[in-house]
Structure 1
């Protein structure tokens, strides 16, 4: 466990968890002893006794009651501390996940399509969006603050087209579609693996409520069956959810976070699967192949990356990233557009989602999640890869039936 924490570059304290567990166990044992002694004293006080003996037993019973209350309070505090410390322990990483803490430690395992050779100097999506009159960052900053944006004109139809395109791919693959709430209770966020409060939190907490704006539909789809026992023959369950996503930390300033790449709000179509433990590895591959299908269908070059341990995030056992070629970034670089994670039973244990096995015992399901389309980043890749020398942008043929036009041209 300590090695796994170190490999993931996290600050969980396994020794503290063990220490708190022992403390809690000792308090439980001590409390049970006091409760037994109280019961024996109460029973003895009911017998035929002299007044002095009965008074002594009653006094002893009062002292035991105070001691029990004190131990119960100490146990409550110890359990809360144990829960807090134990929740920091990340999921075990897949034995084949690359060990490392930097992006360069992740392993490229596949490449689909070749970066386009431009006969002109390609623009980035910010310049294209502003010139075409389809994105407005300046007025969004005035109204909402930095890292917000307006989509206008054809970009509005492109967003809807990307969602419709993704939904139709997933419908053919047997996914049940949802439009999910944009708010979730804190205990659901904690169960999924998000920290709902504190300086390290990446989500917006709602003042006066024990709830937050969701950072992904993974949260609301993962909480959908919290506290339930699912029928074994109903698994796997394939869900996809459309939601807005809200994230406080939009990244450091610089080329990587420019424009739409890192923003405080965006729309996303997310896949989420509940399955049996023996099914999760194969389903993880299936989710990644669906992501590949979506971006290959758009004609956008991408590579698949086996994410290193330091970039997995606490719930993930293994994670695949799809990184699209973004020619407007520093003369051309790869940028993450989707991820697919197998979280094994990490989330199910915290949310208490189980199934009844053939032997009649309740066991935890496995959960997986994957991005179908994160609209803002998909737009970055689409605009930059499909631009033309005259400043126009050609629409991928897969999207034309959903948006109704094949090209975005500068407004006159």
Structure 2
């Protein structure tokens, strides 16, 4: 959540942020009004409690005649205090509800607009000219089936659409990617983590996934658990309700977990193959840093993602995501999009988001900075979303005979294998 003091001091900035996100601007004024009621009801409650305590001290000293009058007044004050306390609680709950509905303040340099209004910051690698090489590229599913690596038919039979099996070299390729990603993250100073896939409501709400993103979250109503769509959620909640010594920052974690997404609103999109699926594995970087270092950490996360994609020898571009396409928690987000030959366009493989103090306030993760205790900043960055990375590798490194060249960075994790060969049917 944002800082309420900032809202009071500069509401126009918050309104502008809401407008740029394409979200409800009137929420700002409703929150200001609720915050005023919260504060005034708090003052009223404190005044009545003070009067009640003062009156309580007078009763033992009063004469019999005075005592009867004082007790009558005390009874009325008791009722008034109870009513004021209820009003204060109601005002606090309303202010909190509205505050949780407010997105993070966008960074001033974020391009304004919707999904297509991103700005390309960099382009890396060379897009292959398959025509010049004398063959038409196959898509990842055709390649994967020929390699004995992907089985979507049985995935659909067992679990429905957008599910799949990785088999044979497909399973080995996932394990190679995960191990290589964790190795890179560990070398960069991240602590490897295997995280829970089921979390309580507070963890999901605290990271900002129960607002605009709630439609894509799986909820197990009987047990009131949520299936995570990213290990960002359990990593952000790892230090929930804790105060971290500022001298220990930054804290960096690389989480590996299964991820689950309903993909609501994507009917008819990316239905072929494994590009957009309901369950997948992912390696996610997560950082807790001093607020003053958040922007630099954001750039560092992006550099680690670029290092990863460069090592996989994939052509990709880096984009500055537009305001209307940001998640509620992010003030700014960079995506790395890899070239997918059969689609003829770049598609998102990794994201790096700066959440400033937004998640830390919601989860009560604070830092001790000298004598001051205050929210720190959290950031997250995808290192390897496995299925999409497999899509990009198969399509970009395919050879004319249907085999696929293995990028050098992955070869040590595949027993030195240089090429994935089609299997006999």
Q: TM-score, normalized by length of structure 2?
A: 0.90
User: How far apart, in 2, do the equivalents of 1:398 and 1:43 lie?
Assistant: 78
Please state how far the C-alpha of 1:75 moved relative to its aligned partner: 1.9
Structure-2 residue corresponding to 1:260: 274
Please state how far the C-alpha of 1:19 moved relative to its aligned partner: 0.7
Structure-1 residue corresponding to 2:295: 281
Structure-1 residue corresponding to 2:373: 362
Please state how far the C-alpha of 1:6 moved relative to its aligned partner: 0.9
Please state how far the C-alpha of 1:130 moved relative to its aligned partner: 2.8
1:339 to 339, 351, 356: 351
Q: Is the 8 A contact 2:217 2:227 kept in 1?
A: yes
| SS class of match (1:383) | helix
User: How far apart, in 1, do the equivalents of 2:191 and 2:296 lie?
Assistant: 19
Structure-2 residue corresponding to 1:27: 41
User: How far apart, in 2, do the equivalents of 1:133 and 1:333 lie?
Assistant: 26
Please state how far the C-alpha of 1:257 moved relative to its aligned partner: 4.9
Structure-1 residue corresponding to 2:98: 85
Please state how far the C-alpha of 1:327 moved relative to its aligned partner: 1.1
Structure-2 residue corresponding to 1:240: 254
Give runs of aligned pairs for residues 125-164 of structure 1, distance below 5 A. Answer: 125-164=140-179
User: How far apart, in 2, do the equivalents of 1:87 and 1:334 lie?
Assistant: 34
User: How far apart, in 2, do the equivalents of 1:66 and 1:141 lie?
Assistant: 63
Please state how far the C-alpha of 1:88 moved relative to its aligned partner: 1.8
Q: How many aligned residue pairs are there?
A: 406
Q: Is the 8 A contact 2:243 2:365 kept in 1?
A: yes
Structure-1 residue corresponding to 2:7: none
Give runs of aligned pairs for residues 6-45 of structure 1, distance below 5 A. Answer: 6-11=19-24, 13-45=27-59
1:301 to 286, 307, 315: 315
2:181 to 166, 172, 182: 166
Per-residue Cα deviation, 1:332-372 (whole angstroms, up to 9, x for no partner): 111000001111111122222222223x1113221111011
Gaps of 5+ in 1: none
Q: Is the 8 A contact 2:115 2:324 kept in 1?
A: yes
Q: TM-score, normalized by length of structure 1?
A: 0.93
Q: Is the 8 A contact 2:148 2:422 kept in 1?
A: no
Q: 1:37 to 1:19 in 2, by over 3 A?
A: same
Give runs of aligned pairs for residues 62-101 of structure 1, distance below 5 A. Answer: 62-101=75-114
Structure-1 residue corresponding to 2:8: none
Structure-1 residue corresponding to 2:244: 230
2:71 to 58, 79, 93: 58
Q: 1:364 to 1:199 in 2, by over 3 A?
A: closer
Structure-2 residue corresponding to 1:106: 118
| SS class of match (1:239) | strand
Quote the RMSD (CA, aligned, Å).
2.0
Please state how far the C-alpha of 1:92 moved relative to its aligned partner: 1.7
Per-residue Cα deviation, 1:281-314 (whole angstroms, up to 9, x for no partner): 2221111111111111111110000111111212
User: How far apart, in 1, do the equivalents of 2:205 and 2:254 lie?
Assistant: 21
User: How far apart, in 2, do the equivalents of 1:256 and 1:3 lie?
Assistant: 34
Q: Is the 8 A contact 1:250 1:262 kept in 2?
A: no
Q: Is the 8 A contact 1:154 1:408 kept in 2?
A: no
Gaps of 5+ in 2: 1-13
Q: 1:45 to 1:250 in 2, by over 3 A?
A: same
Per-residue Cα deviation, 1:147-170 (whole angstroms, up to 9, x for no partner): 211111110000000011111111
User: How far apart, in 1, do the equivalents of 2:269 and 2:263 lie?
Assistant: 16
User: How far apart, in 2, do the equivalents of 1:250 and 1:294 lie?
Assistant: 29
| SS class of match (2:42) | helix
Please state how far the C-alpha of 1:374 moved relative to its aligned partner: 0.4
